[in-house]
Structure 1
């Protein structure tokens, strides 16, 4: 179910971040009478359990603490959280002594996917008011630009090939408020300024506070931070493929070697040359995202997303020009009106790229060279659609993760270390 406008919904705040200690401090600062805090801990996955901690403070200020081991449902973390976490949150919603809920997520979880699940299954009971993300100043940027997997970092087990970079970037992009801790461990003023440059370009609409190791994160500071949130930040709303890529009006000028650029093209990518060009997004780039028009997939909207040295491309729908019924959401219709061409309709490519060692000029040149040439374009749509393509199709079990959008099950992924489709 989608959220309603009912005022009876219980406010819910998500707390996220790679640093477990920072998340704990944020959560502690939100403890108050009428608050219930739910924490998820995936560190016991190898024993087949997820630990859920519920800390309630009633109106009289009396603490109630419970710790439960929730057994994995057929070995699936997502199904376990879906079947145990959502009912627990709804139970707290029905408790008249609870006026707000704080959900502290394990570092391996992406808040957007949790929010999607809560909105779809408990939207009439819970209102996600904001997401607060904790950042360790000394380690975040290294994690967000690397190739270390969650399993290698000890945050997950088994065949989970997601990287710290993918999780770190996803957590920041979905944040309404960001707490940077340990500013004096960043390595110096320039390194801290560079971290700020990255964060304010990933989440330009979010409120932000920076603390050194001697400063305390308390309720007053956190309240001030949350008051600085803007209406343009997500506030629990999952992204859609046709949302503005530069939502929140991030700065485009270079700062401390960090620069945000956009790439726009009104002709398709050549599939093989795009495959070769993707390396430019895996070296010296913090993150990229955007819509792709690939010659061999003329009707498909493909969504590209990278973080550090990992990249994925997913099918997210069809161009409006390829839909006989013309059915599309308002964001898609608005974008179609902006990009419409009499011959190709709304087909286009639009990508934002956040560079920190690479340059916008190098990225732009590599992507431009991957577009079809005038000679190829002149041979017509049948020739373009028949071009050999390395972008195969593969199945992604819905149990592997919560869905972010109405994507189908096709995906292409690569990383800089292996350089292969899998």
Structure 2
């Protein structure tokens, strides 16, 4: 029988769009007692994945294994559920393993891995069914950033397939993955700083990163500075308790966690959009275009007149934007159970007429003018006359929003509001 432990094994994720940078980061973490795991997903659509496991025992001896894994259904989720998660449970029981490092393929978003680790029940021969999170503790995520390319990738509209990183049916964009990787990081390693197009461009990149991951530790290196174990140790120690540390974001968490800088720097600025009246759905659809150019990312809660009971979550990165339902306002059912953060948010926004319904969005601009974005969203709010028509009239306004919406879109057709509701907190595609 595998050995049982009374404590969970620490798990570190290494993420980023650049495979070489991720490999260098992993090399610095390969200390005695560590198992370093990676999956190469470049051939996953054919049902084949290459897995590498590098074990360094407590005496510093190395052991490598390289295996081709055949999957019945070739996809990222299958790789996680059928191979990585069971492997984590097995490595936890190896006496020579005191830490696990997982190097994620560039197409994998670390927040989704965290969800899988904590929620997906794994079946391993000889063990009771349980999530891998019962055996491992995701304590740290390190993200590697290429100073020469990252900002262009994070603000464009290329899909992963167009960039040659994923299968044709994967509609996610480079921007969505790049932003998600940095946002979930506890430590950011910026490499190739001397490859950036000048000091101002490097400063602009830093201004974006420190606002996207304000609680993370950060180190910036040029091509002549080696990334070694000592530097990595200092980088890991420079983060704060407010960074994610493996905790996925929930819709009612503070949108400005980590105390980011709200002043402008190199044209980069965080702005907030707050409203205590609903949006007119068609005018909002037009206003969303303001977030598709010159904006790194936007996230937040939406109150739309045609969806009066639904908490809608907006999430944009570069030229891609999605809106999905993530729950209901407490005003629709005050007796319903809610997590403490939702209750605290409801108390802050509570209104005698509309309850806790509100809009709260944070926008990270790098070229767009915040005043123009704010004006576009202000113009999309329902007017006093529309409010006076009453809740029934507002709920019957024609709407392009159902339970799931993505921009850019091809038309403005009314969607079926009886469609199946996705209440998960996973990725939006």
Shared topology, TM-score over 0.5? yes
**Of 138, 156, 171, which residue of structure 1 is paired with 2:148?**
138
State the TM-score, normalizing by the size of structure 1: 0.92
Residue 48 (structure 1) shift: 2.0
Q: Is structure 2 residue 327 aligned with structure 1 residue 317?
A: yes
The CA distance in 1 between the partners of 2:166 and 2:305, in whole Å, is 37
What is the correspondence of 1:9-408 to structure 2 with a 5 Å cutoff?
Answer: 9-120=8-119, 121-392=131-402
Residue 52 (structure 1) shift: 1.2
Greater RCO (CA < 8 Å, at least 6 residues apart): 1
The CA distance in 2 between the partners of 1:186 and 1:419, in whole Å, is 39
Residue 72 (structure 1) shift: 2.5
The CA distance in 1 between the partners of 2:324 and 2:116, in whole Å, is 20
Quickly say closer, same or farther: Cα 1:76–1:44, change in 2 above 3 A: closer
User: Relative to structure 2, which stretch is displaced further, 70-79 or 262-271?
Assistant: 70-79
Quickly say closer, same or farther: Cα 1:7–1:189, change in 2 above 3 A: farther
Quickly say closer, same or farther: Cα 1:357–1:420, change in 2 above 3 A: farther
Indicate conservation of the 8 Å contact 2:301/2:359, yes or no: yes
The CA distance in 1 between the partners of 2:43 and 2:169, in whole Å, is 16
Residue 325 (structure 1) shift: 2.5
Gaps of 5+ in 1: 1-5, 393-409
Residue 47 (structure 1) shift: 3.1
Cα distance per residue 1:158-205 (max 9 Å; x no partner): 211100000000001100000000000011110000000000000000
Indicate conservation of the 8 Å contact 2:47/2:75, yes or no: no
SS in 2 for 1:279: helix
The CA distance in 1 between the partners of 2:317 and 2:17, in whole Å, is 15
Residue 324 (structure 1) shift: 4.7
Indicate conservation of the 8 Å contact 1:263/1:351, yes or no: yes
The CA distance in 2 between the partners of 1:415 and 1:200, in whole Å, is 28
Runs of 4+ in 1 over 3 A off after TM superposition: 418-422
The CA distance in 1 between the partners of 2:244 and 2:39, in whole Å, is 22
The CA distance in 2 between the partners of 1:353 and 1:190, in whole Å, is 22
The CA distance in 2 between the partners of 1:279 and 1:70, in whole Å, is 43
Residue 252 (structure 1) shift: 0.7
**Residue in structure 1 matched with residue 122 of structure 2 by the alignment:** none
The CA distance in 2 between the partners of 1:75 and 1:97, in whole Å, is 32
Residue 419 (structure 1) shift: 7.2
**Residue in structure 2 matched with residue 415 of structure 1 by the alignment:** 408
Residue 7 (structure 1) shift: 6.1
The CA distance in 2 between the partners of 1:227 and 1:285, in whole Å, is 31
SS in 2 for 1:257: coil
Gaps of 5+ in 2: 120-130, 414-428
The CA distance in 2 between the partners of 1:388 and 1:98, in whole Å, is 58
The CA distance in 2 between the partners of 1:254 and 1:105, in whole Å, is 33
